[in-house]
Amino acid sequence: MYTRRYVKPFFALAPYPAPYYTENGLTQDRLHGVRAMPRTPSIRYYHSRRAYYTKFHGRQHLLAPGPKDEPDGPVYKRAVEEFHRVMHADEMYRVVDNVKLSAVIIWYYHHLEREGRQSTLALTRTVLDPAIEKLGKIKVRELKPFAVNDWIDSMKTWNSSTKNTAVSQLNSALYWATQEGYLQSNPLAGMKGKPEKLTRGKEAVVPEELLDLLIREASPEFSFFLRLLRETGARPGEIANADFRHYRPAWGAIVFSWNPQPGEYRWKCGKKTKKDRIIYLAPELQKEVERRMEIRGGKGPIAPTRRGRRWDRKNNWFQIRKLSKVASVQEWCSKSNFSLAYLTAYGFRHSYITRMLLAGCPIKLLADLCGTSVMMIERNYSHAHDDPLAMRQLFLKFSQGARAYGQSGPSHDDNTK
């Protein structure tokens, strides 16, 4: 009788496919999709290598070289300590440093918002929103300085100062996340090759005649805003966030607390210096502020827009660009050889500090009046003393003052009594 022989199918003769590791450490069968946990990491001694090792995520880690002396020998104890370090480092690596850069930047946005640092938030979003689009998907542990430099180089419309600000703000976000415990380390710490920040020189000082023209040609709301900038030397963000509740009639000044309530505006150096920001007003401005305060019932911004809102960077830029297109402004700049590129809201503060230095105001007093440091003024306003004629006037002024003090001041006999 004929019997049919059984032949194994071809797929039964093929070797069983080996499993492979996935991102989360599990193994997966390529044919059936069966998932299984990998072998639990442990401490093993290799006689051929005369050392303790462990295998973790497909890599062998040297724990401690030396003879096998478990369980109480010094070599084995070092291996146990290194084993725990590897396991702990991996946990930190997995939980913390695997976060994407976009998440860190957004966390930093929320931090600035909670701190009430609206102007800093606006600046940071301007320079880091493009970073989210370009670098947002990169994990922090994979972020390298060359990737940041490539992103900076791709921003063709930014000048050197803007690029410097972008790198600084990104570094600030990563440093803050490290301090808060979101990250284990800052991958950009010690980054070199950052674009240099352009400093405003004497060419950025807006002449007095042009300041008068700009204030005259501006809308009534923006004109008052510019007057406050011109006569106080305050930052545009400070004037924009000044409310009537910040005004102190007895002092004739606008006062920002260094530790305001959460969500309220905090002036730039408040957290660092722990000092209130005091912006003194000239008598004419003081009367105008008090008049407006009476009309509005002491509520709202001191210098609002036409719609009663605060001035922001976008509105300032739009109004300045609008003024730069006025025929009288363009004609004056053309005759005086003044570049419209230096026409900014911050230029009013720059011009104020420069003129105060030329008038002989002591640097420490000027730094206190403008809410900045002596070092910053010395670093960025050395151009104020580049004019020999102005320096001679200061020399004569203070020389005469010192001579007059010597003639009318206390005598040597008075000091010895």
Max mean pLDDT range (58-67, 192-201, 259-268, 348-357):
348-357
Contact predicate 280/251, CB 8 Å: yes
Q: What is the pLDDT of residue 302?
A: 96
Q: What is the pLDDT of residue 49?
A: 87
DSSP alpha helices (H): ranges in 309-362?
Answer: 313-324, 327-336, 346-358
As beta bridge partners, residue 62 has 53
CA dist 45 → 39, 42, 54, 56, 75 (Å):
16, 10, 9, 15, 11
Alpha carbon 122 to chain centroid, angstroms? 10
The pLDDT tens digits for 244-300 are 999 999 999 999 999 988 778 888 888 889 999 999 999 999 999 999 999 999 999
Contact predicate 234/277, CB 8 Å: no
Q: What is the pLDDT of residue 401?
A: 60
Identify the sign of the CA torsion 63, 69, 74, 80: positive
pLDDT at 103 over 50: yes
- H/E run at residue 62: strand 59-65
Q: What is the pLDDT of residue 386?
A: 65
Closest to 340 in 3D by CA, of 352, 350, 351, 329: 329
Q: How far apart are CA 2 and CA 35, in angstroms?
A: 45
What phi and psi values does residue 325 have, to the nearest 5 degrees?
Answer: -95, -5
- CB under 8 A, 24+ apart: contacts of 105-111: 105/131, 105/132, 105/136, 105/170, 105/173, 106/132, 107/173, 107/177, 107/182, 108/172, 108/173, 108/176, 108/177, 111/176
**Residue 301 DSSP label:** B
Q: What is the mean pLDDT of residues 67-91?
A: 81
Contact predicate 336/210, CB 8 Å: yes
pLDDT at 344 over 70: yes
Closest to 159 in 3D by CA, of 351, 353, 344: 344
What residue ranges define each of the domains in the chain, with the CATH number in brackets?
A: 19-95 (no CATH), 101-180 (1.10.150), 202-395 (1.10.443.10)
Contact predicate 138/176, CB 8 Å: no
Residue 380 burial by Cβ neighbours in a 10 Å radius (0-12, 13-18, 19+): middle
Kindly report the average pLDDT of the chain as a whole number. 81
Q: How far apart are CA 108 and CA 89, in angstroms?
A: 25
Greater pLDDT, 381 or 329: 329
Of the pLDDT bands very low, low, confident and very high (cuts 50, 70, 90), residue 384 is low
CA dist 194 → 131, 143, 155 (Å):
16, 16, 14
- CB under 8 A, 24+ apart: contacts of 5-13: none
Position 19: which residue type? P
Contact predicate 330/324, CB 8 Å: yes
- Strand extents, DSSP E, 190-274: 247-248, 253-256
* Percent of residues, the chain, with pLDDT higher than 70: 78
pLDDT at 52 over 60: yes
Q: How far apart are CA 279 and CA 277, in angstroms?
A: 7
For 195, residues 6+ apart whose C-beta sits below 8 A from its C-beta are 152, 160, 161, 163, 164, 167
Among 92-101, 203-212, 406-415, the least confident range: 406-415
Closest to 312 in 3D by CA, of 417, 412, 202, 238: 238
